[in-house]
Amino acid sequence: MKRFDNGSVLLFILIQAAIAGVGSTATSKSDVPVGDVVSAGAEKSTAATPILSSPHQKSEFKSIAPEVALKWLQHGNTRFTKGTFRKDGVSSEDRKHLTEGQHPHSIVLSCSDSRVPPELVFDQKLGEIFAVRTAGEALDSTVIASIEYAVSHLGPQLVVVMGHTQCGAIKAAISTINGGDAGSDHLNKLVKDIQPRIDLLKRVPASVDYLTEAWVNAKGVAADLAKRSKIIDEKIKQGQLLVVPALYHIESGKVEW
Ligand SMILES: [Zn+2]
């Protein structure tokens, strides 16, 4: 991989954007890497990604291939753990561009835990991640509808379901798995959504930091999205959507895939 200085990267991407007619800086310069350089080839292939043909989607923008979006998130997490954050993407100019609309490259369903904000742990900026957050990534119809909306109207082809170590919702689901009260009707509904996904683990002692249970839950949520949403299931089968589970490690800041 050839390395460029940041100025060269920006110039190259701007040229690519001009050639491809990319109108939104949210996608064209959005991931100018600071700590890790995404290959020029990856940037080029992004610009060449064909427009989806869904009747729900506008034709003025180009969707980002899920493999490319995934690499951006992975590179962003590397920057996060190294403390070499991007310096673009939050200016008044960026906000101005985003008044024309949003075309996030990824959907991230993650826990509401204050230590796991996807925009920070993936070092992504305004307009780049469509975030849906619930404790334990628990699913209900509004969560699924939010993802269906983004998939149908905003163009992202990647959904990341990200659990994390030391998850309080997972801990609550484990402690009430044999019928205990989580504290309210709402909390009971939340743990009841999580419990079937970790049910097979209830006969063994909980893992350190609930790591195993959190992983199993995140993978289960990723699978349940397709089972519970016809829109998501069809997009996956048509090759227009990739759903990937992930696990954030609270101590190291690393996202495991
Ligand atoms: Zn959590």
pLDDT digits (tens, 9 = 90+) for 44-91: 333 333 333 333 344 467 889 999 999 999 999 999 999 999 999 989
| Ligand 1 centroid to residue 162 C-alpha, Å | 9
Residue 210 in this model has a pLDDT that exceeds 80: yes
Beta bridge partners of 131: 108
pLDDT score for 153: 97
The DSSP secondary-structure symbol of 129 reads E
The DSSP secondary-structure symbol of 247 reads E
pLDDT score for 56: 38
| Ligand 1 centroid to residue 118 C-alpha, Å | 13
Residue 72 lies in a domain: yes
| Ligand 1 centroid to residue 196 C-alpha, Å | 17
| Ligand 1 centroid to residue 202 C-alpha, Å | 18
Residue 32 lies in a domain: no
The Cα–Cα gap between 5 and 52 comes to: 33
Per-residue pLDDT tens over the stretch 139-188: 999 999 999 999 999 999 999 999 999 999 999 999 999 999 999 999 99
Give the predicted TM-score (pTM) of the model.
0.78
| Ligand 1 centroid to residue 134 C-alpha, Å | 8
Backbone angles phi, psi at 96, to 5 degrees: -60, -45
Range of the domain at 156: 63-256
* The token pair that represents 160 in the structure block: 């990341």
* The token pair that represents 115 in the structure block: 């230590």
Q: Which H or E run contains 228?
A: helix 211-228
Residue 50 lies in a domain: no
The Cα–Cα gap between 198 and 158 comes to: 25
| Ligand 1 centroid to residue 77 C-alpha, Å | 18
pLDDT band for 236, please (50, 70, 90 cuts). Answer: very high
Give 40's contacts (C-beta < 8 A, 6+ positions apart): 2, 4, 12
pLDDT score for 62: 83
| Ligand 1 centroid to residue 116 C-alpha, Å | 8
pLDDT score for 203: 84
Residue 130 lies in a domain: yes
| Ligand 1 centroid to residue 131 C-alpha, Å | 15
pLDDT band for 105, please (50, 70, 90 cuts). Answer: very high
| Ligand 1 centroid to residue 32 C-alpha, Å | 30
pLDDT score for 60: 62
Tell me how crowded residue 171 is: count the other CB atoms within 10 A of its CB. Answer: 17
Per-residue pLDDT tens over the stretch 2-53: 333 344 433 333 334 333 333 333 333 344 333 333 333 333 333 333 333 3
| Ligand 1 centroid to residue 51 C-alpha, Å | 35
| Ligand 1 centroid to residue 158 C-alpha, Å | 21
| Ligand 1 centroid to residue 113 C-alpha, Å | 5
Residue 183 lies in a domain: yes
The Cα–Cα gap between 57 and 149 comes to: 11
pLDDT score for 22: 34
Residue 58 lies in a domain: no
| Ligand 1 centroid to residue 170 C-alpha, Å | 7
**CATH number, domain with residue 96:** 3.40.1050.10
Residue 26 lies in a domain: no
| Ligand 1 centroid to residue 137 C-alpha, Å | 8
| Ligand 1 centroid to residue 152 C-alpha, Å | 27
| Ligand 1 centroid to residue 112 C-alpha, Å | 6
Structurally, the chain folds into a number of domains equal to 1
pLDDT score for 4: 34
Is residue 42 classed as helix, strand or coil in its secondary structure? helix
Asked if 36 and 78 count as a contact pair (C-beta separation under 8 A), the reply is yes
Residue 12 lies in a domain: no
